[in-house]
Amino acid sequence: MTQIELSGVQKWFGAVQVIKDLNLKIEDNEFIVLLGQSGCGKTTTLRAVAGLETIDEGDILIDGKAVQHLKAADRDIAMVFQSFSLYPHMTVYENIAFPLRATRMNRADTDKSVREVAKVLRITDLLDRRPSALSGGDMQRVAIGRALVRRPKAMLMDEPIGALDAKLREEMRAEIKRLHVKQGSTTIYVTHDQIEAMSLADRIVIMHEGVLQQVGSPEEVYQHPQNLFVAQFVGSPVMNVANASVSESAGKASVTAEGATQGFPFPNELLAKLNGSAGKPLSLGIRPEGVIVAHEAADGFVPAVAHIIEPLGSYDIVDLKFGEHMLRARTRSGFVAGPGAQVFARLDPTQTHFFDAASGQSLGVRL
Amino acid sequence: MATAVIETLDPKSRAASRGMSDIAIRNLFIIPTIAFLIIFNIFPLLYSLGYSFTDFRASTNAPANFVGLQNYRELLNDPFIWTNFSITAKYVIVSVTGQVVVGFGVALLLNRDIPFKGLITTLLLLPMMLSMAVVGLFWKLLYDPSFGIINHVLGLGTFEWLSNADMALYAVAITDIWMWSPFVMLLSLAGLSAVPKHLYEAAAIDRAGSLYTFFRITLPLVAPILMIAIIFRTMEAFKTFDLAYILTSQPTTEVISIRLYKMAFQEWQTGRSSALAYIVLIMILAITNIYVKYLNKVKER
C-alpha cells in the first residue's frame, strides 16, 4: 500500500532548471511510466524519488510522509538501473541476497527469500554464476530480483530494458508486465520508448524539457494528446501535422492543409466547435491510420498521388501527395500498387486533432 | 580494424633517404638496450651463479675452487643468517602493513570532491620522489635524541630512536612508511576511482550502511590493484638496504641485504655471498608468486 506524491518539485543543475514545478500523484499499485526524450528530466525525477538526487523546492511524499530530506536507504524504495549495477564480484545469489544481508536478515530467511524470488524470475539455475557470465536479459532479471527480494514500498525502474536488443526487449517487457500483475507494487518506470510506455503503463506521464506535458492512460494520451509535443511523441509512425485553414463554402466545412490544392470536407459541427479560436492559425494533426485511402473517387475523397511506400509487413506506410502537401497514410499491405499511383483519400474526422499553431495546445475539438 | 603495430617507414623520411630500412632502424633502437641488459644484468647474474658454487674471494689472487653446494648448506645452517632473515621479515611486515594502512586511508580521504584535490595529491607524492640517501640523512636529523624535531614535538625528551636496539628497526620502518605510503595511496586512488559510482548508488538503495558498503563493495573491487601495490612494496622492503644502512648500524636492524653487503664487500666472501644473493632471489620470487596467484584469483571475478 504505497502512494507517492510529488508536489511543486523544482530542481536546478547550476543555471539549468531540469524539473519545473512538477505535480504528480501516484496511487497504490499503479504502474506509472515517465516518458520523454533524453534530457527531459524524467530520470532526474526518478532519482529524486529514490533519494539519489536532492530537490531544490517542493515535497516528495511517500504514504503522506515527506521524504525529500531522507537518505535513499531510509525511503524503503527499490530501484533497477539501466546499467543493471550488479555487483561484479558477487554471484547472482549474493547479489540478490545483498539487500537482505545489508540489513542483517538471518540466514534462513535470506535463503528462503532469495530462492523464492529466483523462482519467480526463473533464474534458479543461474544462482551460482557471476554477472559477467550472464546474458543481458538474465542480468536484468537479477537486477529486478535484487529489487523485489526485500518487498519494497515501491519499485523504480530507470530504462531497465533500454540496453537490451529488440527481441529481448519485447520479451522482458512482457515479463515486467507479468511480474507487476503478479506482485502488484507501486512502480515508476522511466523510458524514452513510447511503445514500452504504451504497453506497460497504467498511466503515462509525458515530460518535455522538465515540464510535465500530459498525464493519462495510454489510450487517453494516444487518442487525445493535449499538445503538439505529446501528439508527435506518442505513436509510431508519427502523427501528420500541418498548418491548416478551415473554410466554409455553400454551408459545407472543409479543412485545407498548407500547400494542398483541395480541402478535405468535414462535418459542419467543426465550425461551431472551432468558433472560440476563429482567426487563430491552426495546426491539423492526424495519425496515419486516420487517413483513409481508396482506389475509386467517392464523395468526400480527395485525389492524391502515392509517393513513397514503406512496406512494414502487417501494413504499409504510404506518403500521399496532395499538390504540394504530403500526408502519411497507413494502408493494408500491398494496397497501393506503387509510387505514382493515383488514389483517393479522406480524413477520419474522429481521429483528427486541432491545435493552436502558436502555443501548440490542443483546441479540444472532438468530432 | 586492428592497427598495425609496426608502421612502415615513410619513403620520403630522412631515415629512408639515408638508405635505412625499417629493420635497420628497429635494430638501431633495440640492440644497444639488449646489449646493455646482457652485459650489466644477465651476464653478472649467470656469472655469480657460477661463483656461488666456489670458494672464490675477489680480494685475493687465489684461484676459485669448486665446492659444490657447500656454500648453500653452510648458509642455510647458519643461525646468524636466520636472524637476519627474521629481522627482514619483521621489517617487511611492519613497513608494508603501515604503508597499506596509511596509503589506503589517505586515498579514501582523497577519493571525494574536495578543493585543491590535485594539488594535495601532488604534494603528498613528494616523499616518494626523493632519493633514499637524502631521506635517510634527514630522518637521521629528525630522529636525533638531543635536537631532533620528532622528540621535540612528541615531548619525548632525549628518547633514543636509532641507538635503541628495540626501537631502531621500527624507526627505519616509520621512515619507509613515510616515504612509500604515497605510492600505495596513488595506486589505491586509481583503484577507488575505478569503482563505478552506480554501484554505490545501488548499495545505498539496497540500504547498505557505510561500513558494509566499504567491506562488501569498495574493498573487494579495489583488492586487485591494492595487491599490485603490496607486491611492489614487499619486494622493495625485502631488499631494503640504503635506508637501514644510513639510519643506523644496530645489530637488530641488520636486514638481509646489509648482511649480504658486509659478506661480499667487507669480508670478501665472494662465493658465499653469491650463494646468499641467490637464496634471497629465490625467496622474493616465491613470495611474489604467492601474491600473483592470489591476484589472479581476485582478478577472475
pLDDT digits (tens, 9 = 90+) for B258-269: 999 999 999 999
In this predicted structure, what is the pLDDT of residue B1?
43
Instruction: Mark whether B103 and B138 lie in a shared domain.
Output: yes
- The total number of structural domains in chain B stands at 2
Instruction: Mark whether B286 and B151 lie in a shared domain.
Output: yes
Last residue of a domain, one of A199, A226, A253: A226
Query: What is the SS3 assignment for A3?
Result: coil
Instruction: Mark whether B46 and B135 lie in a shared domain.
Output: no
Judge whether B225 lies within some domain: yes
Calculate how close chain A gets to B200, using CA atoms only, in Å: 9
Judge whether B26 lies within some domain: yes
Instruction: Mark whether B90 and B216 lie in a shared domain.
Output: yes
Instruction: Mark whether A144 and A269 lie in a shared domain.
Output: no
Contacts of B204 in chain A (CB under 8 A): 51-52, 71-73
Single-letter residue type at B173: A
Instruction: Mark whether B46 and B78 lie in a shared domain.
Output: no
In this predicted structure, what is the pLDDT of residue B4?
54
Contacts of B210 (CB under 8 A, 6+ apart): none
Biggest CA-to-CA distance, chain B: 77
| Nine-digit cell string for B295 | 591476484
The number of residues in chain B equals 301
Instruction: Mark whether A48 and A90 lie in a shared domain.
Output: yes
Contacts of B221 in chain A (CB under 8 A): 88-89
Torsion angles phi and psi, residue B212, rounded to 5 = -60, -45
- The total number of structural domains in chain A stands at 2
* Cα A189 to Cα A23: distance, rounded to the nearest angstrom: 17
Instruction: Mark whether B26 and B86 lie in a shared domain.
Output: no
Judge whether B62 lies within some domain: no
Query: What is the SS3 assignment for B143?
Result: helix
Instruction: Mark whether A61 and A161 lie in a shared domain.
Output: yes
User: Mean pLDDT across chain B, nearest whole number?
Assistant: 90
- Residue A343 sits in which domain range? 240-356
Judge whether B63 lies within some domain: no
Instruction: Mark whether B200 and B239 lie in a shared domain.
Output: yes
Instruction: Mark whether B28 and B97 lie in a shared domain.
Output: no
Query: What is the SS3 assignment for B78?
Result: coil
A9 pLDDT higher than 50: yes
pLDDT tens, B37-85? Answer: 999 999 999 999 999 999 988 888 888 889 989 999 999 999 999 999 9
Contacts of A246 (CB under 8 A, 6+ apart): A253, A254, A255, A256, A266, A270, A271, A274, A282
User: Mean pLDDT across chain A, nearest whole number?
Assistant: 90
Report the range out of A148-152, A260-264, B101-105 with the highest average pLDDT. Answer: B101-105
* Cα B147 to Cα A189: distance, rounded to the nearest angstrom: 69
The more confidently predicted of residues A186 and B19 is A186
Does B194 contact chain A (CB < 8 Å)?
Answer: no
Give A14-18 contacts, CB < 8 A, sequence gap 24+: A17/A210, A18/A44, A18/A210
pLDDT tens, A150-188? Answer: 888 899 999 988 878 888 888 889 988 988 888 888 999
DSSP class of B2 = P
A277 pLDDT higher than 70: no
- Residue B45 sits in which domain range? 21-51
Judge whether B13 lies within some domain: no
Which CATH number do you get for residue A308?
Answer: 2.40.50.140
Judge whether A234 lies within some domain: no
Instruction: Mark whether A26 and A101 lie in a shared domain.
Output: yes
Closest among B225, B243, B144 to B187, alpha carbons compared: B225
Instruction: Mark whether A173 and A275 lie in a shared domain.
Output: no
Instruction: Mark whether B207 and B283 lie in a shared domain.
Output: yes
* Cα B200 to Cα B205: distance, rounded to the nearest angstrom: 9
Instruction: Mark whether A318 and A277 lie in a shared domain.
Output: yes
Instruction: Mark whether B96 and B46 lie in a shared domain.
Output: no
Cβ pairs A/B, distance under 8 A: 61
Instruction: Mark whether B93 and B29 lie in a shared domain.
Output: no
Judge whether A363 lies within some domain: no
In this predicted structure, what is the pLDDT of residue A136?
87
Instruction: Mark whether A126 and A208 lie in a shared domain.
Output: yes
DSSP class of A29 = T
Which CATH number do you get for residue B190?
Answer: 1.10.3720.10
Instruction: Mark whether B32 and B136 lie in a shared domain.
Output: no
* Cα B103 to Cα B183: distance, rounded to the nearest angstrom: 7
Question: Do residues A283 and A354 make contact, with C-beta atoms less than 8 angstroms apart?
Answer: yes
Instruction: Mark whether A19 and A139 lie in a shared domain.
Output: yes
Does B209 contact chain A (CB < 8 Å)?
Answer: yes
Does A160 contact chain B (CB < 8 Å)?
Answer: no
